[in-house]
Structure 1
Amino acid sequence: MSDTKPRILRSVRLLNAAEKRIETDFIAPPPPTTPLDTAAILKLAHEFQPVAILVTHHSPLKGADVAALPESVKLIATVSVGLDHLDVPALLARGIAVSNTPDVLTDCNADLAMMLIIAACRRAAEYYTLMKKGWGHTLGMDEMLGHRVTGKTLGIIGVGRIGQAVARRARGFEMNVLYHNRRRLDPTHEQGATYYESLEDMLPKCNILSLHLPAAPSGGPIITARTLALLPRGSVLVNAARGALVDETALIDALRSGHLFSAGLDVYQNEPNPDPRILALPNVFMTPHAGSATVETRTAMCMLALDNVTALVAGKPLPTPVTA
């Protein structure tokens, strides 16, 4: 690395350990008090001429935004695994490297998915609402009953790092794991899970369905009225991946009709303002897109983004490059 510290921007305040590292190893403006949007980050980039910009979903860079980046920028380091907010081909075409933060958030995302599974099956949202109202009466033997998680059949769509981590946790609950993926895993990674090439063949066998795949850039939702109808009546849907994967009107209809017993959701089509009809449903357990929201994981994500900047400036391979 040269004697001059690299100049960087970040669109959000990072965790304390990362901010201390920036103070020591980089030249950067003070951390923003609120997340910067795209216009603000572009304006600051032209004023500050950074070699790298650390971004999140708050400041998407697409189309004309990419063209508007100053020539000084050689790396966009997103503090996320997801790339929905970046036009990666356009960035690469401009000779701007892209990095993300895979692996370090796998366990916390899988933990949250298991929380959604358990909470949706055991009516956690309804129990919490009852208790906040003061409870007030004992429950009858057949009142407000949930479903046991142990021993159920879990279907997983998408078995990348997080999907496989969810499968490992499910085995601790003696669950029968099925999965659908673009391609079958190597048998050494299946660990007893059953592969279904056809989603339509897998869905009727699932008590619980959990989504762990990226949203298709040009495709529609994978969970529609048709695919929901293939699930057994009384099943549970969990989505800790992307809101665009689910037709929310079809989901609402399935929850209202009782075809779905419940749902556990961390992501929504319209964030941070989910459909009010979903918010009003008693049989949905919801979290605010918080899969990686632990001190340990968010710190590791920030540090990995900075590691990519350090590698770029030193002329070394990026630890976690995005190549397509």
Structure 2
Amino acid sequence: MRKPFVFVTRQVPEESLVALKVVAEVEVWPEEEIPVPRELLLEKAKIASGLYTMLSDKIDEELLNQAPHLKVVANLAVGFDNIDVKTASERGIAVCNTPDVLSDTTADLTFALLMATGRRVVEAVDYVKQGNWKNWAPLLLAGTDIHHKTIGVVGMGRIGSAVAKRATGFDMEILYHNRSRNIEAETKLGASYVGFDELIERSDYIVCLAPLTEETADLFTYEVFQSMKSSAIFINASRGGLVVEEDLIKALSEEIIAGAGLDVYREEPISVDHPLLRFSNVVALPHIGSASDETRHEMASLVSRNIAHVLRGDKPEAIVNEEVFK
């Protein structure tokens, strides 16, 4: 009997596909950085039992309507806003992701981004490389302290909690806002639950780690940036869609906030002439939150295991729409 067909939309480590190849015929789009063309994705979806996907792949109603054999869509990410989960659930299609495995790695990067922005690390590196360093000066590239400052975490999930844990090592006051209380973060990390407005007004570092939903889309507007301290630094390691980018650009232009550290954007990748790159006080990274060698290999393997479980008729290790298996 012929094995079910699974299409992988980006080149991933070959060893991560071992578990998947036991149960399925696997075809891989042979590019690591170039997304699979939409037309080809639609074509492969028509015959696929499983799709191994990236955040850049739009798995919408149009695609799902043309995928009669599809049983599972598994993202190489903790996020899944690229997938129409409602339609998938209605059709009995499992939607999988890769939570937990990337929490610490993404928290490491988020805190590194916070520190790099606060202490002007990238500016300092460029200063040396461009031959501008002539002598020591008392306030040369003086940034702002991290220790004993107030960090405000918007989205106290797994990654937010891991960032807050790192903040305790810097004796920071930890504020957080979430759709529900995180009692563990309060008791173990000393975090304080506050309203969104209070967090924005009191925090020295505002760290966005909330998921992109209908409620959080365009959460950070010009008015929100106006409510921040003029010395505040904004960090976004979640999704670009939470920020009205034009408003952030305006806030930076008017020096309403002190700087921004960004790993995500509304449209990715951004071009070299993107307005945000004009600012020396913006640290811009290419969406590498979970990009450690160890974590990306484990994420890739987890996606394969998730798909393999579903194709065998078993519940996957990580599933977004659990109702499919009830």
- TM-score between both structures, scaled by the size of structure 1: 0.91
Question: Residue 320 of structure 2 corresponds to which residue in structure 1?
Answer: 322
Question: Residue 44 of structure 1 corresponds to which residue in structure 2?
Answer: 44
Deviations 1:144-165 (A, max 9, x none): 2101111111011110111000
1:220: Cα distance to partner? 4.2
2:141 corresponds to which of 131, 137, 144: 144
The CA distance in 2 between the partners of 1:43 and 1:187, in whole Å, is 46
The CA distance in 2 between the partners of 1:227 and 1:45, in whole Å, is 41
Question: Residue 248 of structure 1 corresponds to which residue in structure 2?
Answer: 245
1:187: Cα distance to partner? 5.0
Question: Residue 93 of structure 1 corresponds to which residue in structure 2?
Answer: 90
Q: Secondary structure of the equivalent of 1:311?
A: helix
Counterpart residue type for residue 35 of structure 1: P
CA, structure 1 residues 281+7, in 2 after alignment: closer, same or farther (shift >3 Å)?
Answer: same
Greater mean deviation of Cα atoms: 213-222 or 77-86: 213-222
Gaps (5+ residues) in structure 2?
A: none
2:20·2:307 contact (CA, 8 Å) conserved in 1?
Answer: no
Question: Residue 75 of structure 2 corresponds to which residue in structure 1?
Answer: 78
Question: Residue 215 of structure 1 corresponds to which residue in structure 2?
Answer: 212
1:37·1:59 contact (CA, 8 Å) conserved in 2?
Answer: no
1:123: Cα distance to partner? 0.6
Counterpart residue type for residue 62 of structure 2: A
Aligned Cα root-mean-square deviation (Å): 2.0
CA, structure 1 residues 207+219, in 2 after alignment: closer, same or farther (shift >3 Å)?
Answer: closer
The CA distance in 2 between the partners of 1:147 and 1:138, in whole Å, is 21
2:108 corresponds to which of 90, 99, 111: 111
2:20·2:308 contact (CA, 8 Å) conserved in 1?
Answer: no
CA, structure 1 residues 30+182, in 2 after alignment: closer, same or farther (shift >3 Å)?
Answer: closer
List structure 1 runs of 4+ shifted beyond 6 angstroms.
none
1:102: Cα distance to partner? 0.9
Q: Secondary structure of the equivalent of 1:310?
A: helix
1:179: Cα distance to partner? 0.6
1:44: Cα distance to partner? 2.5
1:313: Cα distance to partner? 2.4
Q: For 1:279-298, what aligned pairs fall within 5 Å after superposition?
A: 279-298=277-296
Confirm whether residue 125 of structure 1 aligns to residue 122 of structure 2. Answer: yes
Deviations 1:156-187 (A, max 9, x none): 11101110000001111111101111121225
Greater mean deviation of Cα atoms: 139-148 or 25-34: 25-34
CA, structure 1 residues 30+144, in 2 after alignment: closer, same or farther (shift >3 Å)?
Answer: closer
1:39: Cα distance to partner? 1.9
Question: Residue 195 of structure 1 corresponds to which residue in structure 2?
Answer: 193
- TM-score between both structures, scaled by the size of structure 2: 0.91
Size of the aligned set, in residue pairs, is 318
Deviations 1:10-63 (A, max 9, x none): 0111123214555555322355234313321221343xx332110112321112
The CA distance in 2 between the partners of 1:15 and 1:87, in whole Å, is 27
Greater mean deviation of Cα atoms: 217-226 or 121-130: 217-226
2:153·2:208 contact (CA, 8 Å) conserved in 1?
Answer: yes
The CA distance in 2 between the partners of 1:150 and 1:180, in whole Å, is 21
Counterpart residue type for residue 172 of structure 1: G
2:29·2:36 contact (CA, 8 Å) conserved in 1?
Answer: no
The CA distance in 1 between the partners of 2:205 and 2:152, in whole Å, is 6
1:217: Cα distance to partner? 2.8
Gaps (5+ residues) in structure 1?
A: none
1:188: Cα distance to partner? 6.3
**Identity fraction in percent:** 31
